[in-house]
Amino acid sequence: MASPIGRDGVGTVWRAHDSLLRRNVAIKEIQPRFGEDGADMHDARRRALREARSAGRLNHPAVISVHDLLEEDGRLWIVMELLEALTLKETVRHLGRLPVHWAAWIGFQLLGGLRHAHGAGVLHRDINPRNILLTGDRVVLADFGIAALHGDPDASATVPTVHVPTFVAPERLRGGPPTPAGDLWSFGASLYFAVEGRPPRPLSRTPAPRDPMGGGHQEQVARAGVLWPVLEGLLRRDPAARISMGQAGRMLSAILHTEGVALAPPRLPAARLPPDAFA
């Protein structure tokens, strides 16, 4: 028996049971786009294969695990691990915005998964608060539906309509190709959303130094606190000027050390959550 539990950018997610392996799983039905000639099953199949192959290359606690890809009666299904989780978007909607040490912990865990994906040559291309899952002891990056291999000549530079524009790197909105730096900008924008309770402001003009959003610097510092240098470094308009993944990780680690939050080894789930996390 299957029951719907949500949607992501490319389909409906169902809760189901794998009777062969006797485990509960999540199954995402890839729903084709409709055009003048009806459903585009070729495009749906291509996207399903891309997501399954991209996520299937990865094995990290901060990345959703993909078990299988099925096709039956013209319908496509991706079988994944089942997570009892809230998205970052839902969590912020409930709480308003997160304390700095919670946001830093989420960012540090997520960065481990992103580092693993980039190390395997996989660009996510759609990091936003809807695709970040919080389970209580894990932070998990999901929905690799428009992921691409870094350097793949077939990877489109066009920003798909499933994107959330406020979390897309400015160079991507200008038609530039997907790059690791673009993923880092989207990661920074999601971290900004976690601590500020809203997306970054549109990049409509050249920002003042140390203020990539073009708003008041003092206001940003008052809310983000010690997390502000990380956000400032990730959200620079020029991708070449952004801080690296390693720099961001060291900065987040230093914040968590100062806050007294324990961290696990890079490839293991965190030993414990920040005090009263997600209570």
Pairing of strands 122-123, 75-81: unpaired
Buried/exposed code over 208-234 (b: 16+ C-beta within 10 A; e: otherwise): eeebbbeeeeeebbeebeebbbbbbbb
Tens place of pLDDT for every residue, the chain, 279 residues? 566 676 655 667 888 888 888 889 888 877 665 444 545 567 667 666 776 777 777 889 999 888 887 877 777 788 888 888 899 999 999 999 999 999 999 999 999 999 999 998 888 888 999 999 999 889 999 887 655 554 454 444 444 445 568 899 999 999 998 899 999 999 999 999 999 999 987 554 434 444 444 444 444 445 899 999 999 999 999 999 999 999 999 999 999 999 888 776 544 444 344 445 443
- Identify the active-site residue in 73, 126, 137, 154: 126
In the CATH scheme, what is the code of domain 3-81?
3.30.200.20
Residues across the chain: 279
126 classed as catalytic: yes
Can you tell me the distance from the alpha carbon of 22 to that of 6, in angstroms, rounded to the nearest whole number? 22
Domain edges within the chain = 3-81, 86-259
Q: What class, spelled out in words, does domain 86-259 have in CATH?
A: mainly alpha
Domain pair 3-81 / 86-259, same fold: no
